[in-house]
Each structure stands twice: as C-alpha cells, then as structure tokens.
A and B are shown apart, each in its own frame.
Chain A
C-alpha cells in the first residue's frame, strides 16, 4: 500500500484541486473522489484532503462533534495513523493538521495550522435549489436572491433564520459558502482565521478552501444582529469555564449537566493553561 492509502495519481489530483480552491476562496472545485475503506458520508472528503496533504513531519488531531474520543474520530484517526505513521495528539495547539466534523476548536488557531472539515453537503444553495446545474449558474452570477428570500421569510415568521447550523456565509463578498454543519457559534471563527481551512466533500466529490486571513461573513440583514447559541450563564461542570460551547447531558436521575463540547479546551482550561 502507498503512503497515505491513496495512489500518487489520486493525491496529485486532490492537491491540484486544493490549490485551485485556495486560489479562489469559497469556490467549489470538483474532484474525482476515490472510494475509501470508510463509508461515504462518514468523512471521506475530509479524509482524502488530509491523506493528500499529510507527511511524516505532521502532528494530527481528529475531532468529531468537538471530541477526540468520539467513535468516528477514533476510527478516522486510527485509520490515518495506520497508513501514514504520523504522530497524533489531542492538543489543538500542538496539531499541524486538525480534521474536524461539525466544530471549530475553541482555542484560536495559528498560522501554519490546517483545519480540514468533513463536509456532507458542499453547496449552500442546496438549501434553496437542489439542481446542481442551476446551482452552478447561480454561483457564476453571484445570484443569491433565493437565500435572501429564505432568510427574509424565516425572519418574518420566526424572528430569525431557521438555519441552526451550516449557516450560509459570504466569502470576500463574492461566493456564498457552506461552512459544513458547524454551529452558528463557530461561524464567526471562520473570519480572518490565521489557519488554512480546507473543506472536503467525498460523496459529493467537491473541495473548497479559505486561505488564512480570508474575510468570511454570515449572510444577514444590516439591521439584524447575528445571533449565536447562548447557554445563558451556564458553566462547564468539569472545568467551570463559561466561555465555550456546551453539551447538555442527561444524568441517570433525570437532571441535566453541562460540559464543554471541545474536550481539549476543557482539559486545557482545567489545567489553568489558558
């Protein structure tokens, strides 16, 4: 087996697609997308991106729903490790590549780090137009009126957009982009991020990217505030931080407790290293 599972031809193709994606921030690039021994929809896009860029000097972190120990994160990390022999870590700070599903780490990322997102639906227009041929034309014309209409209708009916995660963002005032199903809480972290952000959708065979320091704004009306998830003064039961996205857990006696969703943040905060 070749280094990183994929054959050299495949890796080259993926790297070319990544370079093109970086050159046009937010633009969706097609790629062949090989089948992997992990099921479609389980992170094969992010995985192919990671396998195409990783080398022996990298330190890898894999999270799923903010957690290094979650079943899918464990599975993906073990697979990558078995085909690359790279060093792995739970620490956000120490990682050179972080592959993630549904979260952006709480701790600010640094220059030189790469955040690889697993993406289920790469085109944000899918929420308003399922036909991929029409989506392409709408992007070409920067025609996002249907998204605006959806936002308007939701706002008039419910006071805010009904989109709770994978909230539409506008990249450098040009392309509307799907940030993958991260909470609205994480949306603002996309903007001006020091790290390179790469997005891979395996089943849909698309790659897109945000180079470091790219302007990324949520799609919103000028006179409306962009509201994110709010935990109303709750603190993490374990580390006592009030500055992180919290998971609500049901105890056996029916009561609820709150814990940091980002497990590395929780550990680091608890050790007083933040």
Chain B
C-alpha cells in the first residue's frame, strides 16, 4: 500500500519537474534572445544569422556604460534606503498600532499607488525645479522614493498583519516601548518582506525611463536613459540595444540573487524549524 503511494508520489513529482522545466524555458527565452542578438551586427540581425562582436564594441563606444551604471546604482540605493526607512515603520504602524483614522490614512497611502506617473510628473517637475532639486541626484531620488513608498508600505503592512498581536503586546508589557518593539522584534521578522521590497523596487527604479530622463542632468544619466537615447531617430541598432539591455539586466539579477539568500533565511526563520 505504502509502495503504491510512494510510486504515485514519485510519478507526480516527475510531472511537476517536467512542468517546471518547461516553465523555465519559457521564462529564460528572452535572455537567450538578448544574448544571441547582442553578438551580431545590424546585417546579421536582419538575416538572423552569423555572429560578431559588433553589438558590444559599438555599445561601449556609444555610451559611457560604466558611469551610467554607477549613476543607476547610486539613485537606486538612495531611493531604496528611504523607501525601506519610511515603509517599514509605517507598515508596522498601520498593521499593529491602529489609531483613529489610521485605516483612512492607510487607504490614502495605498491609493497613491494608483497615481499614473505621466499626469503628475510635470507638476512634480515644476515643484522640484522651484526648490532647485533638478540639477542633481536629489530630485530623482525623492521622486523614486515617493513612487515606491505606497507599494512598500502596502507590502510591509500585509506582512506585519501576519504577526500576532499578542506577541507585540507581550513585548510591550515586558517594558519595551512600541518603537523598540518594532525595532527589535517586528523588523527582524520582516526580512523576507524587506527583501521582496528591495528586489522589486530596485528593478522598478532601475528600469524607469521618464523620471530619470526629466529629473537627472545628462551628466548623471542612468543606464536606462542612456539606452533610450541609443534607440532614437529612425534607425535603432538592435544588437547594440540588446547588449545594453543585457548589461542593464545584470545588476538586477545580482541584487535578486543576493537578497534571495536573505529571503530564504527569513522564510526558514518564519517556519520556526
């Protein structure tokens, strides 16, 4: 009887494995496409045959790849730090420290998620220009932080709701203030959510075009804006674009792989095993 169940389970697992492989192929195809076509020149791309280094050499000739990658990193890191700082605190507050009207305030913060960027970006620009924040990293970082805060707060609050009230109250009874409870108990517990926010926000900010385009001076341009400038005019050199997109994708992947480990650690901590 047990053997039959085991065999059935092994068969089911086998099918699951097959499905996962198929899904993996579907997911990875664009990477293959990017890499494959970055190693071509324009003619080889049109014919879809042959390879050369043309895409890569042209990319480094046309764009200051290194400095643009650095700019992207600076902007992302600064914005994410701000986002994490305000969203963990607020998420905890909205989830556990409800006060009169906090439900409304929470809804408002989350509603800000739904603001379409293109309609507020010009008023935003006008405002920040008045404060002289346009000609440096500052303006862009602030806007990115603002754009990411609603989502991060929403996610953190969702996660914090899963922590039992008794746990918090017990710590407070033990003499810790609510703020310290947040710092020493709730925050460490939310590492998976923090990791998730970091990874998702990193990708969103890294790949953003419009804010970087308008709020950063050309000297502090991010890689995404740089790539967009390549595909201007009537002809786009696709191989160069593919090479640039690949390089642009690498940091996001690195961030994900780094935080994945924390994600796991946090998840196994959560399991309490």
A binds B: no
